[in-house]
Amino acid sequence: MPNSPLSASAYEVLGVEASASEAELKKAFRRALRETHPDTGGDPERFTAVQDAWDRVGTPEKRRGYDAGSRSRTSSPRTAGSSFSSRAAAPSRENSRPRAKAHGHPGGWRRERYLDGMREWVGRGASLDDPYDPTLVRTAPRELRRTLADALAEEATARTVSALGIGFTVWHDVSTGPPERKIDHVVLGPTGLFAMLSEDFGGPVKIRRGELIGPHVQPEKPMHELASRAKMLSRQLGVAFTCFVIVVPDDALDQPHASLGSVRGAPALVVRQSVLAHLLRTGPESAQSRSIGGNELFDVRTRLGNGIRFVE
C-alpha cells in the first residue's frame, strides 16, 4: 500500500537510514533484491516492495523529490507521494448525475484527532505549516499515521457511496456511544441497510474463524466490534441491518470480497474498496430476500433520519 500513511518509507523497505549515501543505498537495494527474490525462496510481496522503493529513490532526482514530499516528474504514478490532504470529493462537472443523499462528515472525527495529535507531537507553539506533508507524516508515530489512514479510507468510501445515485442515503460518523465506537457509514438503499467500517490496517489481512487477522489489525476483532455497535443502533431505532461490511484497500485482501460468516442471520463481509459499489448496488447474494423497498424503505429512512446522532 505505497500511498497509505502507514506504508513503510522507501528507506525502511531497503533497510537503510534516510541519510544513507548513494553508494549505501545501491548496496542495500542489491542486498534486498537477493534476499527477497522469489527464485531463491524470498517473499514475492517483499520483492515487489523493494522494487517500488527503489523506483521512488533510485536516482538523485527521484530521491530529492521523495525527500521533499513532492511528486517527481520521473516518479512512477503508482508509487509517487501525495499530501494526504484530500477530502470526500464534491460532484465534478463531468459527472453531474444526482448523488446519493449524505449526512455527516466522513473522516471528520479522525481528521480532527490527527490534527490535534500532530500539534501535540510537533509541540505546542511550534510551526506546523502542512500537517499532511508526506515527509512529516512518515516520521510521525504509527498511531497518528493510522488515524490519518482511516480518515482517508472513510473519505474514499464516501466518494464511492455518493456516486450510487439518489436511490441511496448514507450517514457518516454515526455515534453509538463513545466516539471511538462509531459506525463509519450507515448506507440505506433498495438492496438493504448496511453497517460499514472503512479500515486501513497498513498491510494484508487474512480471515480466521469469521474475523480479520493481521499484524496490525485493531481493534482485535473488527467485525465483532461492528456488530456490537450496529446492535446498539438497531435497538435504539428499531431497524434491522441487511449486511455488515468492512471495507479495506484493494491490496489488503487477496480476493475481491470474502465472507466473515453472519451476524444474527445477516451476512458479514470484508470487501475491497474497488468492488464496494457493486456490492451495494446488487446486495449480497445471501441477503436477497432481505432487500428493502416501498413503504418499508421510507419507514426505515425516516427512523434513521430522526434518530441517528453523529460523533462530536
Domain ranges of the chain: 10-67, 153-307
Asked if pLDDT for residue 239 goes beyond 80, the answer is yes
CB 272 within 8 A of CB 248: yes
- Lowest model confidence (mean pLDDT) among 76-85, 93-102, 257-266: 76-85
Mean pLDDT to the nearest integer, 101-111: 96
Asked if pLDDT for residue 69 goes beyond 70, the answer is no
Asked if pLDDT for residue 109 goes beyond 60, the answer is yes
Asked if pLDDT for residue 90 goes beyond 70, the answer is no
CB 214 within 8 A of CB 205: yes
Query: When comparing pLDDT for 302 and 4, which is higher?
Result: 302
Instruction: pLDDT band for 19, please (50, 70, 90 cuts).
Output: confident
**Residue type, position 124, single letter:** R
SS3 301: helix
What CATH code is assigned to 153-307? 3.40.1350
Question: For residue 187, what are the β-bridge partners?
Answer: 170, 194
Phi, psi at 39, each rounded to 5°: -70, -20
Instruction: pLDDT band for 208, please (50, 70, 90 cuts).
Output: very high
Phi, psi at 205, each rounded to 5°: -120, 150
CA 245 – CA 248 distance, rounded (Å) = 10
Mean pLDDT to the nearest integer, 39-43: 87
Instruction: pLDDT band for 123, please (50, 70, 90 cuts).
Output: confident
pTM of this structure: 0.81
CB 179 within 8 A of CB 195: no
> Please, what is the angle between helix 142-162 and helix 108-122, to 10°?
160
- Lowest model confidence (mean pLDDT) among 138-142, 193-197, 203-207: 138-142
Predicted local distance difference test score (pLDDT) of residue 124: 66
Instruction: pLDDT band for 2, please (50, 70, 90 cuts).
Output: low
> Please, what is the angle between helix 60-67 and helix 44-57, to 10°?
90
Q: How far lies 134's CA from each of 5, 24, 139, 140, 248, in Å? A: 8, 23, 9, 10, 21
CB 205 within 8 A of CB 158: no
Asked if pLDDT for residue 128 goes beyond 90, the answer is no
Predicted local distance difference test score (pLDDT) of residue 290: 59
pLDDT (tens digit, 9 = 90+) per residue, 243-286? Answer: 999 999 999 999 999 999 999 899 999 999 999 999 999 998 76
**Residue type, position 296, single letter:** E
Predicted local distance difference test score (pLDDT) of residue 163: 95
What 73-76 contacts at long range (C-beta under 8 Å, 24+ apart), as own/partner pairs, is 76/52
Pick the CATH number of 10-67 from 3.40.50.300, 1.10.287.3510, 1.10.287.110, 3.40.50.720: 1.10.287.110
Any alpha helices (H) in the chain, and if so which ranges? 10-14, 22-36, 44-57, 60-67, 108-122, 134-139, 142-162, 222-237, 276-282, 294-307
Placement of cell 474497488 in the chain: 274
Q: Which three cell numbers stand for residue 33?
A: 533484491
Query: When comparing pLDDT for 1 and 300, which is higher?
Result: 300
pLDDT (tens digit, 9 = 90+) per residue, 146-204? Answer: 999 999 999 999 999 999 999 999 999 999 999 999 999 999 999 999 999 999 999 89
- Work out the number of other CB atoms within 10 angstroms of the CB of residue 293: 11
**Residue type, position 178, single letter:** P
**Residue type, position 181, single letter:** R
Phi, psi at 43, each rounded to 5°: -85, 120
SS3 308: coil
SS3 180: helix
